[in-house]
């Protein structure tokens, strides 16, 4: 047999090339619990810096309070770094020991 489809050199290969679009990595911003930072201050931070409603801010603050830690947002590296620095600066100014960190998603 000379003309079986498998022998032909011009058979179209059903392989699609997928352009590799690089998505920048995302970072979780995490808020940590402590025994001294007032609940209202944490709620204020979540409303102001993480665009949460008052109800959402209370819910997330209580999650951190009970569980010790919670993700408060997911951002590009630069935005996450800025958010962490803003939280730490506001806490420092009020002398609250509130801690905020970031972690690659």
Q: What is Dmax (Cα atoms) for the chain?
A: 86
81 binds ligand TYC (CB under 6 A): no
Q: Which stretch binds ligand TYC (CB under 6 A): 3-11, 19-27, 32-40, 75-83?
A: 32-40
19's tokens: 């352009």
Contacting range for ligand TYC; rule: CB under 6 A; set: 1-9, 19-27, 59-67, 81-89: 59-67
* DSSP-derived 3-state class of residue 27: strand
Centre a 10 Å sphere on the Cβ of residue 42 and count the other Cβ atoms it contains: 25
Contacting residues toward ligand TYC, per CB under 6 A:
31-35, 37-39, 42, 61, 64-65, 98
């Amino acid at each position: 047999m000379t003309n079986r489809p498998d022998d032909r050199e011009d058979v179209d290969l059903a392989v699609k090339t997928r352009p590799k679009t690089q998505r920048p990595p995302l970072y979780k911003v995490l808020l940590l619990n402590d025994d001294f930072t007032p609940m209202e201050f944490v709620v204020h931070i979540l409303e102001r810096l993480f665009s949460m409603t008052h109800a959402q801010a209370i819910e997330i603050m209580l999650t951190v309070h009970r569980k010790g830690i919670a993700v408060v947002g997911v951002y590009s590296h630069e935005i996450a770094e800025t958010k962490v620095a803003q939280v730490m600066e506001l806490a420092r100014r009020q002398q609250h020991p509130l801690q905020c960190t970031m972690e690659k998603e």
